[in-house]
Structure 1
Amino acid sequence: MAMTAGFSEGEELPARIGPYLIRRSIGQGGMGVVYQGVDPRQDQLVAIKVLKPEVAGDNIARARLHREVETMRRVHSRNVAEVIDADTSAERPWVVTEYIPGPTLDATVTDHGPLRGRALSRFVTGLAQAIDDIHAAEVIHRDLKPGNVIISNGEPIVIDFGIAHAVDGAKLTQTGTFVGTPSYLSPEVIEGTDLGPATDVHAWGGTVAFAATGNPPYGAGSFEVIFFRILNGEVNLEGMPEELQPLVRRAVARDMAPRPTAAQLVAEAGRLNLDLPWSEDLSQYEASGLTGNHTMQGATPDPGPQGGGGGAFGAMAAGAAGAGRPEPPRAPP
């Protein structure tokens, strides 16, 4: 008998969730489990996030998932994973997004070292474009970090809106509760003050710093130590190309007002020249698909989870770089 989204923890993989056939588990986060599935109607791979049994009965968790779905449906970008389907009223609520093949930034840097040259240029500008598109829908992501960005055919794709919320939406976390990864939180999140689009710009700076240096932007240590460094602007950019440093420093400014907007990030990042000389050896990036010069046709993604962190979508794709994604239609100005 085919199991549905009402299956219990400890059982074997469900055969299907809603109309989607389940292939394998590809990770989990604090709120849910993520499966790779197939839409038999279109023979299309999908990623399916299902709330864990212990949180499925929690009204706040259900509200958070519902908000995630409604939020993601407002965002249309070639650099953001698209929502396909959802049922937030099911016994085990679920949401389906397009499946993005490729390693997370976290895994990429761990396996290959910091991004350089063309790979870094594409990452910096693509991530800025993702934030600009998110903000155009009047949404704040709030949890941008290396585990929530996949590198697919050389392009960064933001995959996790697990705690995203609308600009005018109510906070769903309890007062004094931090949701996120310490090194990529902004001062206003730490202090519990009002957030804004500049919150994501700060996270862009921290994530780009990790991509370019290979190290967490505020070092290692306890929450308290990392929070102290963030609040005092003690960001580590050692190893980052000099041309990129001024923009990143402005992005991680202590106060929100001096930070550039996402649109300014797109414009200024596009003017940077981070490409390596042609004599440089780019083989390690080409082999992993990071430059977009080599698409690994027919490659089978590693089923092991990648990334993770705050949201379950942080583990929803792994393995080889995939085919490029078409530019979605953009709303008229």
Structure 2
Amino acid sequence: MSSTPSAGPFQPLGADDPAVVGGYRLAALLGTGGMGKVYLSYTPGGRPLALKVIRPEFSEDPEFRRRFQQEVRAAQRVQGLYTAPVIDSDTEGPQPWLATAYVPGPSLAHAVARHGGLPLRSVLLLTVGVAEALDVIHRAGIVHRDLKPANVLLAADGPRVIDFGIARAADTTALTGTGVSVGTPAFMSPEQAAVGTVTPATDIFALGQIAAYAAIGAPAYGDGPSHAVLYRIVHEDPDLSRLPERLRPLVTRCLSRDPAGRPALGEIIRLCDEISPEPLRQGENWLPEAVTGSITDRLRLPAPVPTPPPQPAAAPTPTAFSPQSPMAPTPTAFSPQSQAQSQPDVAQPYAPAGYTPTGYAVAAAPTQAGPVAPGAPAAPAAPGSVPPSHWSSQATSAAHATPPPGGTAHQPGFPSAAGGPAAPRRKRTALIVAASVIGALVVVGVVGSLLSNGSDPSDKKERAGASSGGSANGGSGDKAKPEERTGEQAVDGVEEKQADPEPAHYKGIDVPLSYEVALTDDPPQLTEKKGSAVIYGKGDFYHYRDALFGDGHLGTAKGKLVLLNSGQQGSLEVCRQETRYTKKVDLDKLATGSQLCLLTTGGHIAVITYRGESAAGDPSRYISVDLSVWRDAEEPQVR
């Protein structure tokens, strides 16, 4: 989630910006991107943070929330020298957010827009730093997907790559087709722009774009409408005529339309060292002086916004009591013995020390000589305040309060609920109140009887059966507990079953030898594992051939497999009912159309349909499969 360039690095908060997010008090607006806004905040110890709040449109999409949660967990594993580490997050709140370390430096997009292209040494140091960051990101099982100049920050000691993997959460959600732009077409790879395929090689293409942009000060495929730029990326070669001659071979290879023709990250770092006339060492002088001035500007952080001290609530104004007024409060009982009781505390949201969230109403202090008696109405709230919920319930029940044994309502010498002297009780008012209560009880009884007699007999049986020891004929028994009969997840004591997820289907996936497949990604991601390391990898299933015995098999390192019988048709229910699971299935037992069930420890269930393997003369060894994946179909297993 990148931020847009602005006149200054720190913008004041607007009327629609929150004051506090997740207990962190916001100090300034850093920028706005396609997925939300980025704010400056501080830890309780005073360290600055970049806090990114997701747009409400994305927050309302369940698929986005599921993916965002997965990507944040993955991003927390990335701890590289050239990345901004994740510090804190909330993926389940009303509006998800993510906090990373604040990087005091402009983005590459901002620096180039202000000062033009960078010198060769700066470009090479930028390239090796981003390559090292991508290596750490890829090792964590993440493909950045949205590497662009706005997501590369220029710090004093080297570049920092941000927002790795988060763009994946917005892929294929309902929002991507409704005008919400996530990502920049000018820096997409051909396979990403054409068919949406994303692999680590996608980030290599973007790295070539980053190097070219930093050197010439403009995108390698030019500017213009998105569809025109994407067409050039897919079908034409980039214009590298303004690129320094030493850089052209490296950038040209990175921008190969064939992902297999792009160099690996280690090779990119080695080639940059060969291109540089002097050893490449990151340091404080790796950027031009003009860009370094932008870093200085971002070190002048605005002070944290102080939390105003809580103001005492104004004392309530006594209200005149008139028995003849139809809206006057009903006199209530007061007992001097009840002064030992206290009001329950009001739960407040957690916040780090020194950061008191705003926007929550605080209960006003009682103005009576002692605590409010049970059943007594609450004191009037201060203007603009919101009384806690338990005050409302007490005020509602006050009309039905009864005097304590031996006591009378408003005994002489005790204050009334309003804080003033007790008003005289009149017999006429008491008779009216008593008649009203009796009439209400009669009406409630008649209505309840009518409802009971007019209900469906089957409903009676269900209600009777829900009672402990009850019978269909209305026999006696304990009633069901209230908590068993209420709530969004339970009806009459029976918990509602969560709906099964919809399957995702993928056709013609080629899995090369010694590659593993991760079902979490959409589409499933393939990762190479050399030798037997694939058996101990992180993928959900893999293609492996034993070097000693020469037999190939399809196995899983994070779940269990079963080869279905010829008469079985793979489905979610069939896979759940199967018990003949194993860790691997030999390829010689598979024929075209054979189906296997895969249950992963991450809770995903898949049906793998085998379509065959590469021909004997083919230089590449691979198997072809179709996949049907039910993600999060089961609870993940704790290992």
Q: Same fold (TM over 0.5)?
A: yes
Is 1:269 equivalent to 2:250 in the alignment?
A: no
2:301 & 2:241 partners in 1: Cα distance?
33
1:35 is paired with a residue whose SS is strand
Answer yes or no: is 1:88 the counterpart of 2:91. yes
Give the CA deviation at 1:233.
Answer: 3.8
Counterpart of 2:474? none
Name the residue aligned to 1:28: 32
Q: In structure 2, what is the Cα distance between the partners aligned to 1:153 and 1:62?
A: 35
Q: Distance in 2 between matches of 1:150 and 1:123?
A: 10
* CA offsets 1:283-302 (integer angstroms, 9 cap, x no match): 98124229xxx974994269
User: Secondary structure, in 3 states, of the residue corresponding to 2:259?
Assistant: coil
Q: Secondary structure at the match of 1:135?
A: helix
Conserved? CA contact 1:289–1:295, under 8 Å: yes
Amino acid at match of 1:300: R
Question: What does residue range 222-233 of structure 1 map to in structure 2 within 5 Å?
Answer: 222-233=225-236
Residue 243 of structure 2 is aligned to residue 240 of structure 1: yes
* Match of residue 39 from structure 1: 43
Instruction: State the secondary structure of the residue aligned to 2:80.
Output: coil
| Deviation sequence 1:223-249 (CA, Å, 0-9, x none) | 222122111242122322211110110
SS where residue 68 of structure 1 aligns? helix
Instruction: Tell me the SS of whatever aligns to 2:261.
Output: coil
The whole-number CA distance in structure 2 between the counterparts of 1:101 and 1:176 is 31
SS where residue 263 of structure 2 aligns? Answer: coil
Tell me by how many angstroms 1:172 deviates: 4.2
What is the CA-CA distance between 1:112 and the residue it aligns to?
1.2
Change (3 A) 1:75 1:58: same
Structure-1 residue corresponding to 2:489 = none
Give the secondary structure class of the aligned counterpart of 1:37.
Answer: strand
Contact 2:185 2:230 in 1 (8 A): yes
Q: Distance in 2 between matches of 1:217 and 1:261?
A: 21
Greater Cα offset, 172-181 or 240-249: 172-181
The TM-score, its normalising length taken from structure 1, stands at 0.76
In structure 1, the residue corresponding to 2:223 is in which secondary structure?
Answer: coil
Q: Spell out the pairing of 1:100-179 with structure 2 (5 A cutoff).
A: 100-161=103-164, 163-165=166-168, 172-173=172-173, 179=182
Tell me the distance in 1 between the aligned counterparts of 2:175 and 2:100: 30
Deviates more, 1:199-208 or 1:156-165: 156-165
- Distance (Å, rounded) in 2 between the aligned partners of 1:301 and 1:108: 19
Deviation at 1:82, TM superposition (A): 0.5
1:292-307 aligned within 5 A: 296=296, 299-300=299-300
Q: Quick check: 1:76–1:82 contact (8 Å CA) kept in 2? A: yes
> What corresponds to 2:18 in structure 1?
14
**How far apart, in 1, do the equivalents of 2:268 and 2:33 lie?**
30
Q: Say whether residues 1:286 and 2:282 are aligned partners.
A: no
Corresponding residue number in structure 1 for 2:62: 59
Q: Give distance in 2, aligned partners of 1:224 and 1:95.
A: 32
The size of the alignment, in residue pairs, is 283
Question: Alpha carbon RMSD of aligned pairs, Å?
Answer: 3.1
Query: How far off is 1:176 after superposition?
Result: 8.7
Letter in 2 for 1:24: A
CA contact (8 A) 1:209 1:217 kept: yes
Query: In 2, are the aligned partners of 1:145 and 1:184 still within 8 Å (CA)?
Result: yes
Partner of 1:214: 217
Percent of pairs with identical residues: 38
CA contact (8 A) 2:104 2:295 kept: no
Question: 1:81·1:98 contact (CA, 8 Å) conserved in 2?
Answer: yes
Q: Secondary structure at the match of 2:27?
A: strand
Of 260, 263, 268, 1:260 maps to 263
Distance 1:157 1:298, change over 3 A: closer
1:151-207 Cα distance to aligned partner (Å, 9 max, x none): 001511111236445xxx996446995842111000111111532110000000011
Q: 1:110 to 1:298 in 2, by over 3 A?
A: closer
The Cα of 1:129 is off from its aligned counterpart by 1.1
Residues 135 and 58 from structure 1, CA distance in 2 versus in 1: closer, same or farther, beyond 3 angstroms?
same
SS in 1 for 2:288: helix
What residue is the counterpart of 1:309 in the other structure?
Answer: none
Contact 2:207 2:254 in 1 (8 A): yes
What is the distance in 2 between the residues matched to 1:130 and 1:238? 28
Q: Which amino acid aligns with 1:22?
A: L
Other structure's SS at 1:205 match: helix
Q: TM-score, normalised by structure 2?
A: 0.41
Uncovered stretches (5+) of structure 2, i.e. residues with no partner: 1-12, 279-284, 304-639
Contact 1:139 1:164 in 2 (8 A): no
Structure-1 separation of matches of 2:22 and 2:41: 11
1:252 counterpart letter in structure 2: L
**Whole-Å separation in 1 of the counterparts to 2:30 and 2:269:** 32
* Equivalent residue number for residue 512 of structure 2: none
| Cα-to-partner distance string for 1:79-110 (whole Å, 9 max, x where unaligned) | 11110011111111111111111110011111
* Gapped regions of structure 1 (runs ≥ 5): 1-8, 276-281, 304-333
How far apart in 2 are the matches of 1:226 and 1:186?
11
Q: 1:283 to 1:182 in 2, by over 3 A?
A: closer
Does the CA contact (< 8 Å) of 1:115 and 1:211 recur in 2? yes
1:49 to 33, 48, 52: 52
Going from structure 1 to structure 2, the CA distance change for 1:170 and 1:24 (only over 3 Å counts) comes to: closer
Tell me whether 1:199 sits opposite 2:236 in the alignment.
no
Q: Which amino acid aligns with 1:153?
A: A
Larger RCO of the pair (alpha carbons < 8 Å, separation 6+): 1
> 1:163–1:189: structure 2 CA closer, same or farther, 3 Å change rule?
farther
Letter in 2 for 1:195: V
Structure 1 residues 84 and 299: CA distance shift in structure 2, 3 A? closer
Does structure 1 conserve the Cα–Cα contact (< 8 Å) formed by 2:194 and 2:234?
Answer: no
> Distance in 2 between the 1:174 and 1:64 partners?
13
**1:29 aligned partner, one-letter code:** G
Work out whether residues 101 and 301 of structure 1, in 8 Å CA contact, stay in contact via their aligned partners in 2: no
Shift of residue 132, structure 1, vs aligned partner: 1.4
Change (3 A) 1:13 1:68: same
**Contact conserved, 1:217 with 1:235, CA < 8 A, in 2?**
yes
Alignment-mate amino acid for residue 258 of structure 2: D
Cα deviation for residue 54 of structure 1 reads 3.1
> Cα distance, 1:14 vs. partner?
2.9
Counterpart of 1:98 in structure 2 is 101
Structure number with larger C-alpha Rg: 2
Contact in 2 for aligned 1:102/1:301 (Cα 8 Å): no
Q: Matched residue of 1:33: which SS?
A: strand
